[in-house]
Amino acid sequence: MWAFILRRLLGGIPIILGVTLITFLLLNVVGGDPALQMAGKNATEEDLAALRAEYGLDKPLVSQYVDYLKQTVTFDFGKSYKTKEPVVDILKQRVGPSISLTLPALIATTLLAIAIGLIAAAFRQRALDRGLMALAVTGMSISFLVYIVVGQYLLAFQLRAFQIHGYASGWGERWQYLSLPIIVLIVVGLGYDTRFYRSVLVEEIGRDHVTTAVAKGAGPTRVLTRHVLRNALIPIVTRVMISLPFLVTGSLLLESFFGIPGLGAQLLEAIESADFPVIRALTLLISVLFVLTTILNDVLYAVVDPRVRLE
């Protein structure tokens, strides 16, 4: 198993290199000159040259890329072009709000979707199942932005159940701000997840071991939870795992709309103000997490399902 993990880790290196290359190409080559953004409208040519020299933007592209790779290896991402703070500090400050938005939403969405998927699978091809699936597809067909706008209008403005916009330092107050975006996130994801889990569970129900369990006289609840759900764990675990790296970045849209100071909002600000170090660090962080979770995922496969062998 260790040989497998090591080989997969080595296999992740070209992918991470690829990510650095793509971000570099997008930002430094296609994206233009960040000195223009930093200096503002009234900058002279000397100001621009000074800024470029300060951030190493006057070097040839190849040596800029090498600098960037050095940063990547040492996890030192330098300072933000905009606020001059070290990028690592910014990440540390902003990751909390993002996770407190995305983690509760992921847990709630997954549990709800599995529960609804189980009901739909139990009543497969009947009216209840069709109704639930129709609802899921309809939910998937409505724009994310509509959920945000209407959610804010109904829950925060009309019912005054939550705060409309902003964030607070204390946890008690914080939920006032976080609840609404969390609800929106759950509603947006529920359609996709429910459909996915239903199809997984329906496939499992069709297997021989379930027929055997029913024939032995196990009750429907026992069959569904003990026999079906347990054996469907692999796709469930995979789906949850795959979404883990993206929890860190929060949600670009929700954070910027509701004024939550997380990494998603930060990322958007960074893209708008050409704050390259922040964009690079965040992209790299996510892709490293992504590569690691896919490896962990394969290892978990072998743990959950003894039939799977890691070679």
Partner 1 sequence: MTTAAATTDTTNPVVRRLQDIWRSRPSLKLRRDRFAMVCLVVISLYMLIALMVALGIIGGDFADRVGTNYQSPGGESWKLWLGTDRQGRSIIVRMLYSTKVAFNVGFVSALIGSVVGSLLGAIAGYFGKTTDTVVVWLYSTIQSIPNLLLLIALSYAVSRWLDRGLIVVYVAFGATFWVGPCRVVRGEVLKLRESDYVQAARAMGYSHARILLLHVLPNTLHLVLVYFALLFVAAIKSEVILSYLGLGVQGEPSWGVMINQSRAELINGYYWQIGAATVAMLGLVLCFNVFADALQDALDPKSL
> How far apart are CB 273 and partner 1 at their closest, in Å?
11
> How far apart are CB 28 and partner 1 at their closest, in Å?
10
- Which residues of this chain interact with partner 1, rule CB under 8 A? 14-15, 18-19, 21-23, 26-27, 30-32, 137-138, 140-146, 149-150, 153, 157, 246, 249, 252-253, 267-268, 271-272, 279, 282-283, 286-287, 290-291
Nearer to partner 1, 177 or 276 (CB): 276
> How far apart are CB 252 and partner 1 at their closest, in Å?
6
The span from the CA of 154 to the CA of 173, in Å, is: 20
Nearer to partner 1, 23 or 238 (CB): 23
> How far apart are CB 290 and partner 1 at their closest, in Å?
4
**Block residue for tokens 């570099």:** 24
Nearer to partner 1, 223 or 279 (CB): 279
Nearer to partner 1, 27 or 38 (CB): 27
> How far apart are CB 146 and partner 1 at their closest, in Å?
5
> What are the C-alpha distances in Å from 39 to residues 59, 198, 280?
19, 54, 21
The span from the CA of 23 to the CA of 151, in Å, is: 34
Nearer to partner 1, 5 or 214 (CB): 5
